[in-house]
Amino acid sequence: MSTSANSFADLSALDPFQGDTLQVVIETPKSSRNKYAYDAERRCFQLKKVLPAGMAFPYDFGFVPSTKADDGDELDVLVLMDEPAFPGCVLSVRLIGVITGEDKLEDGKTQRNDRLLAVACASDLYADIQHVNDLPDPLLRHMEEFFQNYPRVLSQKEFHLLGTQGSETAAKLVAQAQAAARSVENS
């Protein structure tokens, strides 16, 4: 596959201009009922599903480029920031934690499908949030419930919440997913 100006294939997981921060590509903006996903083959964002009335993404949702999670896709990230971004927007973020979980597949097996939690570096509203434990309990519970419900609506998958961990666990998942992506590139 050749590279182009609108391809995210060459983006690093780590932001080269912001020290220890990550780069995230937003797929679905906060408050959207539309679930978008980046299609690497076509190099564009595609509408995948529409959530039912009354259900919307609680925050911007995207992926960490140059990673490969256990589900075969890039690592998923929920980004807290002041205003919604747009599909294709690249943000610098800092990790605050991870919602760990498993998808139950059609054949009865399970696969991990963790969702990183991050704060946009440019955010004023969430600037003081350094760790998942800094989030108010109701806010964290709403995020967990969203991830338990939205897979069922989108693809009739069942998501089993394993727990919520801090930024140290999230950073280890990023390192593992970067190594997995490099392994695929080199094979």
Domains in the chain and their CATH numbers? 22-182 (3.90.80.10)
The mean per-residue pLDDT over the stretch 16-33 comes to: 90
pLDDT one-digit tens code per residue, 32-55: 999 999 998 898 999 999 998 989
Within 10 Å of residue 92's Cβ, how many Cβ atoms? 17
Q: Is the distance from CB of 125 to CB of 119 less than 8 angstroms?
A: no
Indicate the pTM of the whole model.
0.91
Both tokens of 96, joined, read 């605050």
Helices then strands, each counted (H, E), the chain: 2, 9
Q: In this predicted structure, which of 3-7, 43-47, 134-138, 162-166 has the lowest mean pLDDT? A: 3-7
Share of the chain above pLDDT 90, in %: 68
- Spell out the SS3 assignment of 11-67: CCCECCCCCCCEEEEEEECCCCCEEEEEECCCCEEEEEEECCCCCCCCCEEEEECCC
Per-residue burial over 6-20, b if 16 or more Cβ lie within 10 Å, else e, is: eebeebebbbeeeee
pLDDT one-digit tens code per residue, 146-172: 988 887 777 777 889 999 999 999 999
Q: Which of 43, 19, 52 is nearest to 121 (CA)?
A: 19
Taking the C-alpha atoms of residue 113 and residue 97, their distance in angstroms, rounded to an integer, is: 14
